[in-house]
Amino acid sequence: MATTMGGAGRPDGPGRPRTAPDGPGRPRTEGELTDPWVALAADTDPGEQVGALRRAHEVFTSAGRLERPVRTVVGESWLRSARARVSPDGAPAVEFGADELGPYREAHPLARAMPVIRELMGAYATDGEHLLAVCDAQGRLLWVEGHAVARRRAGAMNFVEGARWAESVAGTNAPGTAIAVDRPVQVFAAEHFLRPVQQWTCAAAPLHDPHTGRVLGAVDITGGDRLAHPHSLAFVQAVARAAESQLALLAPAADRGSVRLSALGRDEALLVAGDRRIRLSRRHSEILVALARRPEGLSGEELLIDLYEDESAPPVTLRAELSRLRRLLGPDLLHSRPYRLAAPVDADFDTVARRLGSGAVAAALEAYAGPLLPGSRAPSVVRLRHRIADQLRAALIARSDPGLLADWAYSPWGEDDLAVWRALAGAVPEGQRPALLARVRGLDAEQGG
């Protein structure tokens, strides 16, 4: 696919200037024209811009060529949408029914931020004939509120609670793209990849866990062309900051006396204890994972077996590591005889296991940030890493949901997973199968099938 901008046929990366009328023939760069995350400059005529964007969209979807006036952030999103084989005439699927949506969003961390989001945005959305929406990190809309007429219109394109608007399935859109790039972003009219969405304009900002920095979802304002004003993006950014501040205020009361351990998708675990955030070395990460799995404690001999491939590793090596870890954590948190943690541990890998155990496969996948301590060779960590991944992928294959399977298949840890790619090829509509079957054949050949 060609990735050129304008008639010159040259790549247009984030730093390349674009020209636009600015008085008597003076070109100006994208940075001068506007903040690159804002859809329109104050002096741009929305009607003219809509027409130009629609023509550019038709060129891209028919010929794969990016042309002016497509912004860099939008062009890159269109390319990702095309690679994900999103149909420009499609509609996002509703993944959560009412019976599953209610319990899921009640338990979601963003539920605690909804009162402040409603306070700041609710009247603005209703009075301005807009919608406020909050999605999770997978792009699933958990709350869609606001003007009644706007809600009915949005329902026609499945912008409804329970629908999935991740960029990989819904193309370029503010909440999905904000999550994809982890930046506040505005999407105007025909900048949307899906044609049915091009009568709308939206602005969204990602929402983060204030302690770990992990993306929890996004907050979005959706409506007409008036939302293309730069103030809309600034407004939604301010709401996101307020929501994150609210989560930070509520978290200590909710988590008092507990310890949180994040070890999925990272080689060095993050421990959050009260207001302390401690990044652990790999060996200390392995020790904490082992102790979190055994709250009753482990003897020194048991820890040696759990942590060292070499059975002849001297106990003094482990004692030295434990001594350093105790100095780091403090004696009130790490006890000995047996070695154990003094406070309950809320570990991210246990969250995945609990959700799988309750049948909440989508929620388990959302909590799975990647393989457990992927660089570790500690025997107990390797066993647990494989167990979590195998149980989750088996549940995904059994569920046969194309969106969930695609999330796994297109992740760094799933790109060579033949069983998941085969399941995905069988779950998607027939028109999307050829490319997936080609991927299956390629993996089959590589893996000696």
DSSP letters spanning 295-324:
TT-B-HHHHHHHH-SSTT--HHHHHHHHHH
CB-based contact 172:57 (threshold 8 Å): no
pLDDT of res. 32: 42
pLDDT digits (tens, 9 = 90+) for 102-117: 888 888 889 999 999 9
pLDDT of res. 329: 84
Query: Using alpha carbons only, what angle is made at residue 152 by residues 147 and 154, rounded to the nearest 5 degrees?
Result: 90
pLDDT of res. 28: 39
pLDDT digits (tens, 9 = 90+) for 22-51: 333 333 344 344 467 776 766 677 777 888
pLDDT at 278 over 70: yes
pLDDT at 371 over 50: yes
pLDDT digits (tens, 9 = 90+) for 172-210: 999 999 999 899 999 999 999 999 999 999 999 999 988
Compute the average pLDDT of residues 300-322. 82
Angle (deg, nearest 10), helices 379-399 and 418-427: 10
Question: Is 207 buried (19+), middle (13-18) or exposed (0-12) by CB count in 10 A?
Answer: buried
Q: How confident is the model at residue 16 (pLDDT cuts 50, 70, 90)?
A: very low
pLDDT of res. 449: 61
Q: How confident is the model at residue 17 (pLDDT cuts 50, 70, 90)?
A: very low
Any idea which residue has 């002096």 for tokens? 43
Percent of the chain residues topping a pLDDT of 90: 49
Q: Map residue 93 onto helix, strand or coil.
A: coil
Compute the average pLDDT of residues 273-293. 90
pLDDT of res. 242: 95
Any idea which residue has 């008639």 for tokens? 7
CB-based contact 143:163 (threshold 8 Å): no
User: What is the residue extent of each domain of the chain?
Assistant: 1-255, 259-346, 349-446
Please provide residue 217's backbone torsions phi and psi, each rounded to the nearest 5 degrees: 160, -150
Peptide bond into 196 cis (omega under 30): no
Helix (H) or strand (E) holding 81: helix 72-83
CATH number of the structural domain 1-255: 3.30.450.40
pLDDT digits (tens, 9 = 90+) for 392-423: 999 999 989 898 999 999 999 999 999 999 99
Compute the average pLDDT of residues 355-382. 90
pLDDT of res. 311: 67
pLDDT of res. 53: 92
Q: How confident is the model at residue 8 (pLDDT cuts 50, 70, 90)?
A: very low
Compute the average pLDDT of residues 428-448. 89
Q: Map residue 422 onto helix, strand or coil.
A: helix
Q: How confident is the model at residue 362 (pLDDT cuts 50, 70, 90)?
A: confident
Query: Lowest-confidence range among 231-245, 252-266, 320-334, 344-358?
Result: 252-266
Q: How confident is the model at residue 355 (pLDDT cuts 50, 70, 90)?
A: confident
The whole-chain average pLDDT of the chain stands at: 84
Compute the average pLDDT of residues 376-401. 94
CB-based contact 27:17 (threshold 8 Å): yes
Rounded Cα distance between 275 and 250, Å, is 12
Neighbours of 182 (CB within 10 A): 13
Closest to 289 in 3D by CA, of 156, 384, 202: 384
Q: How confident is the model at residue 155 (pLDDT cuts 50, 70, 90)?
A: very high
Query: Using alpha carbons only, what angle is made at residue 251 by residues 277 and 220, rounded to the nearest 5 degrees?
Result: 105
pLDDT at 294 over 60: yes
pLDDT of res. 184: 93
pLDDT of res. 79: 93
CB-based contact 248:210 (threshold 8 Å): yes
pLDDT digits (tens, 9 = 90+) for 224-254: 877 777 888 999 999 999 999 999 888 654 4
Tell me the CATH class for 259-346: mainly alpha
Helix (H) or strand (E) holding 166: none
CB-based contact 416:443 (threshold 8 Å): yes
Compute the average pLDDT of residues 263-276. 89
Do the strands 215-223 and 259-262 form a parallel or antiparallel pair, or are they unpaired? unpaired
Tokens describing residue 43: 């002096």
DSSP 163: B
Asked if 1-255 and 259-346 have one fold, the answer is no
Please report, in angstroms and rounded to a whole number, the separation of the first and last CA atoms in the chain.
30
Question: Is 141 buried (19+), middle (13-18) or exposed (0-12) by CB count in 10 A?
Answer: buried
pLDDT of res. 274: 76
Angstrom CA distances, 425 to 87, 92, 399, stand at 16, 18, 14
Residue 187, beta-bridge partner list: 202
DSSP 372: B
Q: How confident is the model at residue 55 (pLDDT cuts 50, 70, 90)?
A: very high
